[in-house]
Amino acid sequence: MNELPTELPNTPEQNAAAANAVAPAPAAARAEESYVELLQRPLSKVVIGFLLLFAALAWSTHNRITHLRQDVARSLQKGDATSNETIALARQVLEQTKELQAKVGALEGRQEKAQSQQLALEQLYQDLSKNRDEWALAEIEQVLSTASQQLQLAGNVQGALIALANADRSLSRADKPQFITIRRAIAKDTDKLKALPGIDMAGVALRLDTVIAQVDTLPMLSDHKPVAPSELARKNGPANSKPGAAAPAPNAFTTGLQRLWSSWTGEMWDEVRQLIRVRSVDTPAALMLSPGESYFLRENLKLRLLNARLALLSRNEAAFRSDLIAAQDTLVKYFDTRARTTQAAQGTLRQVQSNNLAIEMPTLADSLNAVRTYKAKP
């Protein structure tokens, strides 16, 4: 480091004093200069020490500021990472909250459904806990009402008898004296149904089904063909001799002549019979039916018989007899009534037509009124 100057500039006062004063001696001047040097050396060391101290302080401060900046940067980075983690956790919490809300909503819906089911079960339990007699009578009333409707609409007598028997059996199991009136009414209606004339509905329907199945095989008037001579020869035989008559003595010439004449006349007669056919038919148009018309005629006859079967099951007396009459007229007009199959079909239809469907069916009003009267009692 550069040393301080040995001489200091004089102030104006000192210059004035020096001008007025007498110049000192050389010894005194040297002593004063050494004193000044002694004073200047410690001051320079202090300044140097102060500067060194200031530099160390500045360096320490700079290091501290640098470390502080690094710490602040680390803190900021940690804060950013923590903030990101917090945001991610907040999103997860939000999603979980939404899922929990959805689950809570579903649970609330299930709880409401369970409560409604519980109320329904309680109501059902209350209904089931009612008097058993009321339930039994309600069931009997329903069965009897259905049987009465079937009896009036379809004439189902057997179904009505079964319904009455089941109702009486249910009342007998209860074994209560207050049901005696109802059982008497049921027995009365049962006797009415049993007194009705019986009609074998299944048997009649089966006969109609048999005739329907035979329609395709019944011979029609338009189906007849001329008989071949060979068939006539087989039917007539070689000779038409009377049984039991005594045969004359054979003569060879006479016998040969008779055989020749019989053969020639027989062939001529067969030819004449094939050329001319005489038949008595009430409806000549039946002989002129084409194969297509014959097919539709058979199908129409089947439909007539099917309609008669439906009318039988529904107990429609007018439709039943009308369809049977129309079917029989068709058989007479267009089919060969000399054939055994046609005669058998006509006989079956006459048997079916002899059944009487116009039977007034009784009602089950006595049994129903007895049940309803008992239920109306307080």
Q: What is the pLDDT of residues 35-53, one digit of tens each?
A: 556 555 666 777 888 888 8
Pairwise pLDDT comparison (223 vs 224), residue with the higher score: 223
How far apart CA 207 and CA 142 sit, in angstroms, is 35
Tell whether 105 is covered by a domain. yes
Q: Is 150 exposed, middle or buried (0-12, 13-18, 19+ CB in 10 A)?
A: middle
Tell whether 304 is covered by a domain. yes
What's the pLDDT score for residue 149? 78
Q: Are residues 114 and 216 in the same domain?
A: no
How far apart CA 86 and CA 79 sit, in angstroms, is 10
CATH of the domain at 158: 1.20.120
Q: Are residues 119 and 153 in the same domain?
A: no
Average pLDDT estimate for 194-207: 75
Torsion angle, CA of 113/115/118/123, rounded to 10 degrees? -100
Q: Are residues 116 and 138 in the same domain?
A: no
Tell whether 347 is covered by a domain. yes
Torsion angle, CA of 160/164/166/170, rounded to 10 degrees? 150
Tell whether 267 is covered by a domain. no
Q: Are residues 330 and 217 in the same domain?
A: yes
Average pLDDT estimate for 14-34: 53
Tell whether 46 is covered by a domain. no
How far apart CA 273 and CA 57 sit, in angstroms, is 160
Q: Are residues 367 and 354 in the same domain?
A: no
Indicate the DSSP class of residue 338: T
3-state secondary structure of 171: helix
Q: Amino acid identity of 81?
A: A
Indicate if the pLDDT at residue 23 is higher than 60.
Answer: no
Q: Are residues 222 and 144 in the same domain?
A: no
With CA atoms as reference, report the closest residue to 333 among 268, 271, 262, 285: 285
Question: Measured at the alpha carbon of residue 148, what is the angle toward residues 142 and 149, in degrees to the nearest 5?
Answer: 95
Q: Are residues 149 and 177 in the same domain?
A: yes
Q: Are residues 299 and 369 in the same domain?
A: no
Average pLDDT estimate for 363-372: 81
- How many distinct structural domains can be found in the chain? 3
Q: Are residues 341 and 304 in the same domain?
A: yes
Tell whether 30 is covered by a domain. no
Tell whether 229 is covered by a domain. yes
Q: Which domain holds residue 174?
A: 132-196+361-376
Q: What is the pLDDT of residues 52-69, one digit of tens each?
A: 888 888 898 888 898 888
Tell whether 309 is covered by a domain. yes
Q: Are residues 192 and 139 in the same domain?
A: yes
What's this model's pTM, rounded to 2 decimal places? 0.42
How far apart CA 25 and CA 14 sit, in angstroms, is 17
Q: Which of 95, 129, 163 is the last residue of a domain?
A: 129
Which residues does 91 contact at the CB level (< 8 Å), separation at least 6? none
What's the pLDDT score for residue 52? 86
Phi, psi of 297 (to 5 degrees): -65, -45
Q: Are residues 142 and 165 in the same domain?
A: yes
Indicate the DSSP class of residue 2: P
Q: Are residues 290 and 352 in the same domain?
A: yes
